Chains A and B, each alone.
Chain A
């Protein structure tokens, strides 16, 4: 009966995601666009020093506020710095902040949510009331307050945004754990004699990953936007480091002479956030078992 019920061996062991990846991208170009933009950003960020035509921080007052030209494709800013080079280096800041803030928030928040959801009772109450306290402060205000206390700079922006994002992860993780801990295979692991640690790490956590990956991708966009806001307000990345938000803010004073100084970094923020949202939405659809076969 074995061969009859399992069907052909070769197809059974080819990972289905490899067989369908090409088909999905054909039917969902939005996902492809999002992923492509993110890939370009990653390349720019990794190799910023090689790609950028000029040193992003080299000032030259004689060349200030130059229009677009063959030498300076996107012109120069009020201090004569090459806008294209600063944009490329700004990509690095945006991605750095997005990735580090989201990953640290996810790591800590997921752990807290796992404890709260699994043990419930008193640990649940303590952890979730702390998260409620955090979430009751609007995230951008929280980040501003933290940035004001800690000062500017990439590290502190990351910490501020991670703290602001933390409660989301704790809450999402807790709600996932509450469902999964009652599922048959978790009960079955308990009946087979597995202890709490093993059940949490081996059986519950991996099953929460799909939802968390989607949330993290979407949050990456939020974090980039928040970093730009903080930098625009002057409490994020410290000058002269190039960051998109700070560039919008710098260019804003020369709006009438050269609106592109503000508009182009602004567009970069929009494109980056949009890319992460597209990728995140796409991932959610792909990972949602109810939509399997419809894509």
Chain B
């Protein structure tokens, strides 16, 4: 837990090959005779040892993006139509989603922490068994060895009296402690990448901070990378090295957290930041007018246009803008991105 907070800026190994490299990922769902493209041409890298945040409203495609990466999109109704996903140089899109290799990557190479700690643990199994399951599955450990390792993991996530607690059932733990257990399970096999899908949404604010410190600390100790899916910009500012903002299935702005927060170029990012209350400020919060589009709506123009305060004439006629560099290591998908404030 020591050394919590933002890792040193020089820690991410920016020059090494990225842990995860996603290019042109598109995922569609068929429903009611219509095809809805929920993730549309998404490309991004997760560098070694970095914490990358994904921000966006519900339905913007954050979770589906990472379920696609893990090849866990149920087909039918879903289908990954395009793209490549390189994890440690291996293209996951060429693997059989039900095959042994893909299964060993899930949990073994990539750990996942879910949003709902209250329901993500099996109520009828002891937590010891649930932690050991992944160890025995991926590391081929014997029962005794797995048990010792599980106890070690429990202590590492701050649950005391670990030996004894292995025999306890999920209902005997509070939400925060269950999320600690979920983290223990996610990191059990020392994965290279951990994906945390809104890991603190269901927790109260004090517990949130503890869980995030734990998560960030654990990831740093492992030398792994962390993808933090969230809609809490406060969390992003504090923990993330870089940020990707998603809207309507696309990444609309991407860059180092400090740059994006200091100089947001996409009007959606600007609007999001305007929704955050700041201490000592008395202005009214500015909610974003209108509704986000239904997931998978097809657009002939920029999907944010109906809600955009800075729309130009070109926005109505041109096809949806693509991500383009607006500064070093900072890109935005907006026709008006280069305009001054």
CB-CB under 8 A from A1, the residues of chain B are 158, 210
Q: Does B329 contact A (CB under 8 A)?
A: no
Instruction: Note all chain A residues with C-beta closer than 8 A to B72.
Output: 187, 190-191
Kindly identify which residue among B122, B134, B176 contacts A193, using a CB–CB cutoff of 8 Å. B134
In chain B, positions 185-202 with a C-beta closer than 8 Å to chain A are 185
B112 with A191: CB separation less than 8 A:
yes
Q: Is the CB of B120 within 8 A of A188?
A: yes
Q: Does A21 contact B (CB under 8 A)?
A: no
A5 CA to B172 CA, complexed, in Å: 11
The docked-state distance in angstroms from the alpha carbon of A12 to that of B171 is 10
**Least CB distance, B69 to chain A, in whole angstroms:** 11
The interface bits of chain B over 153-186 (1 if a CB of A lies within 8 angstroms of the residue's CB, else 0) are 0000011110010001000111011000010010
* CB pair B120 A193 closer than 8 Å: no
Bitwise, A3-28 to B at CB < 8 A (1) or not (0) is: 10110010011000000000000000
Does A202 lie at the interface of the complex (its beta carbon under 8 Å from any beta carbon of B)? yes
Give B6 Cβ to nearest chain A Cβ, in Å.
23
Q: Indicate the member of A6, A186, A192, A203 with the most B CB atoms within 10 Å.
A: A192
Cα A245 to Cα B26 with chains together (Å)? 67
- B106 located at the interface, meaning its Cβ lies under 8 Å from any Cβ of chain A in the complex: yes
A191 & B122 in contact (Cβ 8 Å cutoff): no
Count of residues in B whose CB is under 8 Å from the partner chain: 36
Contact of A188 among B104, B114, B210 (CB under 8 A): B114
Task: Knowing A1-B210, A9-B161, say if A194 contacts B119 (CB, 8 Å).
Answer: no
B95 to chain A, nearest CB (A): 13
Q: Which of A182-236 contact B (CB under 8 A)?
A: 183-195, 198, 202-203, 206-207, 209
Interface flag for A71 (CB, 8 Å)? no
B279 beta carbon closer than 8 Å to chain A: no
The residue of chain A having its C-beta at the shortest distance from the C-beta of B173 within the complex is A6
Does B123 sit within 8 A of A, measured CB to CB? yes
Q: Are the CB atoms of B120 and A184 closer together than 8 Å?
A: yes
Is B106 touching A193 in the complex (CB atoms < 8 A)?
A: yes
Interface of B, secondary structure class, is loop
For the complex, is B311 an interface residue (Cβ under 8 Å from A)? no
**Residues of A with C-beta under 8 A to B172:** 12-13
CB <8 Å contact, A193 and B104: yes
Asked if residues B121 and A202 are in contact (CB atoms below 8 Å), the reply is no
Q: Which of A184, A192, A202 contacts B125 (CB 8 A)?
A: A202
Decide if B45 is an interface residue (CB 8 Å cutoff).
no
Do the beta carbons of B70 and A5 come within 8 Å of each other? no
CB-based contact B174/A203 at 8 Å: no
Whether the pair B125, A191 counts as a contact (CB closer than 8 A) is no
> If the complex has contacts A2-B160, A193-B105, A193-B137, are A13 and B122 also in contact, measured as CB distance less than 8 A?
no
- Contact between B119 and A192, CB atoms less than 8 A apart: no
Report Cα–Cα, A190/B103, bound state, in Å: 8
Q: Are A184 and B116 in contact (CB under 8 A)?
A: yes
Contact A194 B133 (CB under 8 A): yes
Q: Are A12 and B121 in contact (CB under 8 A)?
A: no
CB distance A191 to B70 under 8 Å?
yes
Instruction: Tell me the bound Cα distance from A31 to B168 in angstroms.
Output: 29
**Which residue of chain B has its CB nearest to the CB of A121?**
B76
| Set of chain A residues within 8 Å of B104, measured between Cβ atoms | 193
Kindly state the separation between the CA atoms of A18 and B332 in the bound complex, as whole angstroms: 61
State in angstroms the CA–CA spacing of A184 and B170 once bound together.
13
Q: A187-B72, A206-B124 are in contact. List 8 more A-B contacts (CB 8 A).
A: A5-B174, A6-B174, A184-B114, A188-B112, A188-B121, A189-B133, A190-B72, A206-B122
9 residue pairs A–B, Cβ–Cβ below 8 Å:
A12-B168, A183-B119, A184-B114, A185-B121, A189-B133, A192-B112, A192-B134, A202-B133, A206-B122
A-side interface residues toward B, CB under 8 Å? Answer: 1-3, 5-6, 9, 12-13, 183-195, 198, 202-203, 206-207, 209
